[in-house]
Structure 1
Amino acid sequence: MTMANDDLSSLTRNPLKERLARGELAASMSLRISRSHEIGRIAASAGFSTLYVDLEHSVLSLETAAMLCHAAREAGVVPLVRVPGVDAAFIGRVLDGCAMGLILPHIEDASQARAAVAAAMYPPRGGRSMGSGQALLHYRSFPAAQAASALNASLFIAVMVESAAGLGAVDAIAAVDGVDMLFVGAGDLGAELGWADGDDDVVVAVFERVLAAARSHGKFVGAGGIANRPEVMRRVLRLGVRFVSTGTDLGFLASGAARQLAVVTQAHQDASA
């Protein structure tokens, strides 16, 4: 039995795309070491609207990524996955595992962006294989053409601008149909361009360039690698950045543990004085 179209629309809603379209902040965290479904509820309780499973900088398995995506979605947090690269077969499996969007690293020209979109989208917009039993559809049955169209429309695709080549081609990349967001990877980009700690104006100028390209093509802009640059963060948010990667589960655990240990150590020193 097939389900009504309004059920299909409800199942394929992407609150992240809706949030960004309203101009609201989408604060994200990345998962590199989490292997338990509780992290979805923890992220929701902390107030995150989205998270991404980082398969570029972790040893997490595809099976674990799928479990984390399912858990996040059930908790009301939009699950994304950063894949290691533009591999159509791998991207298809990630999306079959309940990811509601992708982050594609190291996109350096429009052809790479088009390849990413083609790998992620069903025909006629791409070449993704349509398997039966879609996780995002709660394994319900819908007419194939309608399901493909709805899933294509709901998919969130972010391409990372994190090299001099990508920055140079940013306008052409932004023009690619199917790309939703230009995600500035300030860590890798800064390493290549030689940014120093005091180069806030230089960093902000890069965001201004990316924002100009994004606006001319109706795309969003995200920021990663600026969590430890609060002044840069304030300035780029003022300019119009709305998606911010706030840090990793590993970083949160390490900093929280160190902070609490410092409190206990100080209390012990005070008690011993």
Structure 2
Amino acid sequence: MNSTHNRLRNPLKEKLARGEPVYSMTVRLVRTVDIASIAYTAGFDSIYIDMEHSSFPLDAAGHICMACIGLGVTPFVRVPSLDAHFIARVLDAGALGIVAPSVQSAADARAVVRAAKHPPLGMRSVAGAAPQMNYRPLPSEETTRQLDDATMIIAMIESPEGLAAVDEIAAVEGVDILLVGASDLSTSLGFPGQVDHPLVLDAYLRTLEACRAHNKVLGVGGLGGKPEFMKKLLSLGAQYVSTGNDVSFLVAAATQKRMQFE
């Protein structure tokens, strides 16, 4: 019964391969699977669950990831560190990719690949039937091949060290997207909050050049309050857009609703 119809798909990866932009919603607040349906209805291609900046439990993250897969919304998890054991647990719980914070060198990027991919590219342990594949009892070789094909790695560039090594990071096999985190990068460069500062634009351009050289995707993050700057980066060649998180969306909508009565 194993056929193309049953093969694990990553719709976001397919859209990127066609050269289309994709839009992601960050989840920090909502712990229930309803957020997957909300992201689907709102037209997002992906969510990423931010376990770096929240108290999100692993079981809730796994449930949301599984709900996303059923809707064709690609689920990623932003891990709190580059710890290999935690990366593996997140993927075994149902994520289709890792957002790796503050990648500062090619060695960091290779460590994430080793944790997220099975041999020969990585060292991820074989967990058996996978939730992403509805626990279909396939041969181990087939399961790991499908998981590795669908699983993506997003390396965040958010420090001067990471920016200095951006070409070497982009060259690492297994890395799919380089996501410039404008909030942390602007802070580390000495002008916190100035996410549209000329030096941030320069960082995006340097990262875009590295992506083009190594056939990777440029990601835009931390610019939810600067839509025109986002559009400029999309016109230059960015494809993956992290639009903002559920907390900011809720506050903005609630504030707008309250102000209707002023």
Fold match, TM over 0.5? yes
Write out per-residue CA displacement over residues 167-212 of structure 1, whole angstroms, 9 at most, x where no aligned residue. Answer: 0000000000000010100000001112364854332221110000
Deviation, structure 1 residue 238: 0.8
Give the match for residue 178 of structure 1.
174
Give the match for residue 239 of structure 1.
236
Instruction: Provide TM-score, normalisation by structure 2.
Output: 0.96
1:187-206 correspondence to structure 2 within 5 Å: 187-195=183-191, 197=194, 199-206=196-203
1:82-161 correspondence to structure 2 within 5 Å: 82-161=78-157
Give the match for residue 30 of structure 1.
26
Give the match for residue 74 of structure 2.
78
Q: 2:109 & 2:194 partners in 1: Cα distance? A: 31
Kept in 2: contact 1:11–1:136 (CA 8 A): no
> What residue identity is the alignment partner of 1:238?
S
Kept in 2: contact 1:159–1:179 (CA 8 A): yes
Write out per-residue CA displacement over residues 24-53 of structure 1, whole angstroms, 9 at most, x where no aligned residue. Answer: 121111110101111111111111010001
Kept in 1: contact 2:129–2:143 (CA 8 A): no
> What residue identity is the alignment partner of 1:211?
L
Question: Are residues 59 and 261 of structure 1, via their aligned partners in 2, closer, same or farther at CA, if it must alter by over 3 Å?
Answer: same
Q: Secondary structure at the match of 2:178?
A: strand
Q: Secondary structure at the match of 1:145?
A: helix
Instruction: Provide TM-score, normalisation by structure 1.
Output: 0.92
Give the match for residue 4 of structure 1.
2
Identify unmatched segments of 5+ residues in structure 1: 267-273
Q: 1:35 & 1:55 partners in 2: Cα distance? A: 12
Identify unmatched segments of 5+ residues in structure 2: none
Give the match for residue 255 of structure 2.
258
Write out per-residue CA displacement over residues 72-109 of structure 1, whole angstroms, 9 at most, x where no aligned residue. Answer: 11222111100111111111111111101110001000
Q: Does 1:45 align with 2:41?
A: yes
Deviation, structure 1 residue 146: 1.9
Structure with bigger gyration radius: 1
Runs of 4+ in 1 over 4 A off after TM superposition: none
Kept in 2: contact 1:51–1:80 (CA 8 A): yes
Q: 2:207 & 2:105 partners in 1: Cα distance? A: 14
Write out per-residue CA displacement over residues 109-156 of structure 1, whole angstroms, 9 at most, x where no aligned residue. Answer: 000100000000011111111112210111011111122122111111
Give the match for residue 216 of structure 2.
219
Question: Are residues 197 and 123 of structure 1, via their aligned partners in 2, closer, same or farther at CA, if it must alter by over 3 Å?
Answer: closer
> What residue identity is the alignment partner of 2:50?
D
